[in-house]
Amino acid sequence: MILFLVLSAALWAMGSLLGMPARARWLMIALLYVAFLLALVVLPEGVGLRRSIGGSFGEWLVLGGLAALVYGYRAVLGRIRRRAAPAAEKPKGDFAATELERYARHVILREIGGLGQKRLKQARVLVVGAGGLGSPALMYLAAAGAGTIGVIDSDVVENTNLQRQVIHSDERIGMPKVFSAKTAMTALNPYVEVRPYHRRFDAAIADELVAGYDIVLDGTDNFDTRYLVNAACVKAGVPLVSAAITQWEGQIGVFDPGAGGPCYRCVFPEAPAPGLVPACAEAGVVGPLPGVLGAMMAVECIKVITKAGEPLRGRLMIYDALYAEARVITAARRADCEVCGSGA
């Protein structure tokens, strides 16, 4: 067996010089072991090579079995350690040491600071839609350390999404968008809890789902869903950050009647006539535009949670990417609004 040990040591040293991972080096030694076993079976007694191998076939099998037991024990122990490590690194309520470093640029901001970052960690944010607007919003909220992020969407990732929906990837085509989003978000920040809901946002779940969150971001592309999200937010007393895009333009506002601002229905009392506002699939959209508006949604969400600055309550920002123009208009609350006013 001395020959086997010498050859194994040589293979290990050669693999180390070539920068091969330990698993690959162990695989080479395992192949050498198999070659020795075959030599014991094939070569007749008395052959010089067989004598140099040494030991009987049974002894070599015992050696291989012991090595397999040791390897299996180490693999199981490593898996247990990996599972235990995140639990120790993610304390409830407080920050792990690496989190303090991760969020350092927030903590030194006067408007956020340690208190604001703690509010972010304790916040529960629901994002409706994991498409063009939801993609950047979800990524930035995860990066910022929003503690619990729910995402609801019934679609799967398609090839046509990848021109603008940056949270998804080519290898995840066909995967439900909410699970694709969770994969990207937890890879970016393992300290956030992501709750995926692979289903439509409809009246059957709207009120109960929204009531479990502190703020909602709506990135959907149809008025029926926007009205439903708005009604659920008003009922639960939850602020709503809503944005919309088409071609080269986008708009965003914060709708929060509980803080004295209008709700979404105050500003848009009726849906436009069919065909008047075509969807992105019909009219097209420049790829980075949802990134701009989606990032703005994340900024407004962080401002509301941390109580920083002046969110877009009672105001609507309109952004024209084609001519690089932005303007903000005032949006007043309607006393006779059928959702938050006397018409409810």
Catalytically active residues, by annotation? 280
Amino acid, single-letter form, for residue 40: L
Quick check: 188 and 102 in contact, CB under 8 A?
A: no
Six-digit token pair at 176? 């439900």
Three-class secondary structure assignment of 100-148? HHHCHHHHCCCCCHHHHHHHHHHCEEEEECCCCCHHHHHHHHHHHCCCE
CA pair distance 70, 173, nearest whole angstrom: 40
Strand partners for 244: 251
CA triple 250-254-256, angle to 5 deg: 150
Contacts of 59 (CB under 8 A, 6+ apart): none
Locus of tokens 């639960």: 236
CA pair distance 131, 161, nearest whole angstrom: 8
3-state SS class at 194: strand
- Residue 249: which of 324, 163, 165 has the closest Cα? 324
Amino acid, single-letter form, for residue 127: V
Six-digit token pair at 118? 């703690």
CA pair distance 97, 116, nearest whole angstrom: 17
Can you state the angle between helices 57-89 and 22-42, rounded to 10 degrees?
A: 160
Kindly list the distances between the CA atom of residue 46 and the CA atoms of 1, 38, 54, in Å, as whole numbers in the listed order.
16, 16, 11
CA pair distance 234, 75, nearest whole angstrom: 52
Amino acid, single-letter form, for residue 215: I
3-state SS class at 82: helix
